[in-house]
Structure 1
């Protein structure tokens, strides 16, 4: 199978979040049939849509070349979250690690387990900012140029921290 470019959002706001996100980026490159092509800088953002106060998130996006199918990649991402201590006590709970499959080539998919493109990627500056750092001209099926969506989210603050070490 020819590798497909996929984009994965990473986020954490529990424990040593920066260390966790960096380690998770490295772990993505070790998934079966997968190569880490690039990783964005790290970003700090306030939590959105949370029922109680939480620490800020550390976010990033990784670009992968993978021969895994979308669902197989999702399974690997969920297993990686679990290895990093992710639990799901309630929706929008603080996270040791959150991995979201944002884009998988030009695939459009809507199944009970996976929707592609990610259904909220264009509404979250903490996703768009690192995604556009990797490819400022990136377009998503059904959404068009993602830079146009980022311009609409000026009310969501995103603080760039450090570039991901090569």
Structure 2
């Protein structure tokens, strides 16, 4: 079983309800085990700033799927929740974004998949929820907590637990 980190994001619809359903889909469709789930965080849009704030979270799962099958499954789940990668604009609004951040200690660079995620350490909206669940995890030679310490977390707000 591989230890996998996945980032979730979205800013269209009831994102927090989408996360709950998407996580259930991820675990079911990957025959995965949920090891940890971060809180949800409200974050400022990144890239295209003229849109609603995002909600971001991260999960840690164990799965036997290989990285390519896992990525295919994540894209299928995004599509189930209304995401159309072919028609959206880069960094634009979306119902659900699922990013494969790390898969064990695998390093690969292929046209369809780069591991670990090439921009994870540039994005506080990924590192803040990751640091909540796996602060000491080493990815590409550095811990999540040390990578986060180099970034501003301005505009990232932890949301209250859903009841």
Report the TM-score, using the length of structure 1 for normalisation: 0.91
Q: Distance in 2 between matches of 1:137 and 1:131?
A: 10
Question: 1:71-110 residue pairs with structure 2 within 5 A?
Answer: 71-88=68-85, 89-110=88-109
Structure 1: 5+ residue stretches without partners: none
**Aligned runs of 1:113-128 on 2, under 5 Å?**
113-128=112-127
| RMSD (Å) for aligned C-alpha atoms | 1.5
Shift of 1:74: 0.1
Q: Aligned partners of 2:135, 2:162: CA distance in 1, in Å?
A: 17
**Cα offsets for 1:82-141 (capped at 9, x unmatched):** 000002322112111000000000000100000000001001111001111111211102
Equivalent pairs, count? 161
Equivalent in 51, 65, 70 of residue 67 of structure 2: 70
Aligned counterparts of 1:134 and 1:35: Cα–Cα separation in 2: 15
Q: Which aligned segments of 4 or more residues in structure 1 are displaced greater than 4 angstroms?
A: none
- In 1, Cα distance between the equivalents of 2:40 and 2:97? 14
Aligned to 1:148: 146
Query: Cα distance, 1:149 vs. partner?
Result: 1.5
Matched with 1:37 is: 35
TM-score normalised by the chain length of structure 2: 0.93
